Each structure stands twice: as structure tokens, then as C-alpha cells.
């Protein structure tokens, strides 16, 4: 069973607020990812990390930032939330064993900016 957790599950926040979406995994995985998913749409990779102190931008441009200070923790931050940031954010992780290794997903954070 996957052990990757995201908090909060749901967040409604006003425009201009700073928010941090938390993601933690207990599997010791080096690789972690953030995907953005609009309702009924595909997932777009916005950030990924190979390990501690490693972060890279994904395929979809995002105003969010990430950090990876600890292996198990990969938070995503929006300095000033806007309605265009309303979406579902999914965190995932995988180990280094090979390209056939699947990614494990958290339950997601549904963000609404009003």
C-alpha cells in the first residue's frame, strides 16, 4: 500500500494569500513529482525532484515553487494565490530502481481560489 500523504485535501482561499501544499512519503523514494489536474483533464507535470536539494520545472509552466530539504517531504508553495490557480494538485513519488517503476500518488489537494 502506498504511503504518500497530501494535506490539506481541500482548500478554499482568497486571492493574494500565500499557501503551501504539503506532500510527504514514507517509502524512502528519491523521486517526487507534482502534477496539476483540471477537472476532467489530463495531468500535467509542474515540478519534480531527484532527491534532496534537487528540484526541476516540469512540462507545464507554473507560478508555484517547490523545495526538497528532506527526502520524505516535497511541499509546493504559491506566494500569491489567484483564481487561475484553482485546480487539483497531485503529488507522487517513485524509487530509483528503473524506468519500469510506477509512481505512487497521494489523494490530491483540491485548491479553490476565490
**Where along the sequence are the contacts to other proteins (CB under 8 A)?**
6, 9, 31, 33, 35, 40-43, 45, 48, 50, 56, 58-59, 90, 92, 94, 99-108, 110
**Cβ closer to other proteins: 13 or 43?**
43
Cα–Cα dist 58/10, whole Å: 23
**Cβ closer to other proteins: 57 or 82?**
57
**Cβ closer to other proteins: 53 or 79?**
53
CB 76 within 8 A of CB 65: yes
* Of the candidates 96, 84, 108, 102, the residue with the CA atom closest to the CA atom of residue 15: 84
**Cβ closer to other proteins: 101 or 112?**
101
Written as nine digits, the cell of 33 is 513529482
Written as nine digits, the cell of 111 is 485548491
Write down the least CB distance from residue 21 to other proteins, Å: 13
Write down the least CB distance from residue 61 to other proteins, Å: 15
Q: SS3 sequence, 19-31?
A: EEEEEEECCCCCE
The helix (H) or strand (E) run that includes residue 87 is strand 87-94
Write down the least CB distance from residue 63 to other proteins, Å: 20
Amino acid at each position: 500500500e502506498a504511503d504518500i500523504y497530501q494535506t490539506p485535501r481541500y482548500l478554499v482561499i482568497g486571492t493574494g494569500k500565500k499557501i503551501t501544499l504539503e506532500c510527504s512519503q514514507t517509502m524512502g523514494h528519491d523521486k517526487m513529482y507534482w502534477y496539476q489536474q483540471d477537472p476532467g483533464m489530463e495531468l500535467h507535470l509542474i515540478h519534480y525532484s531527484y532527491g534532496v536539494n534537487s528540484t526541476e520545472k516540469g512540462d507545464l509552466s507554473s507560478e508555484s515553487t517547490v523545495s526538497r530539504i528532506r527526502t520524505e517531504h516535497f511541499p509546493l508553495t504559491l506566494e500569491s494565490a489567484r483564481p487561475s490557480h484553482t485546480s487539483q494538485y497531485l503529488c507522487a513519488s517513485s524509487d530509483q530502481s528503473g524506468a519500469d517503476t510506477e509512481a505512487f500518488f497521494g489523494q490530491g489537494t483540491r485548491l479553490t481560489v476565490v
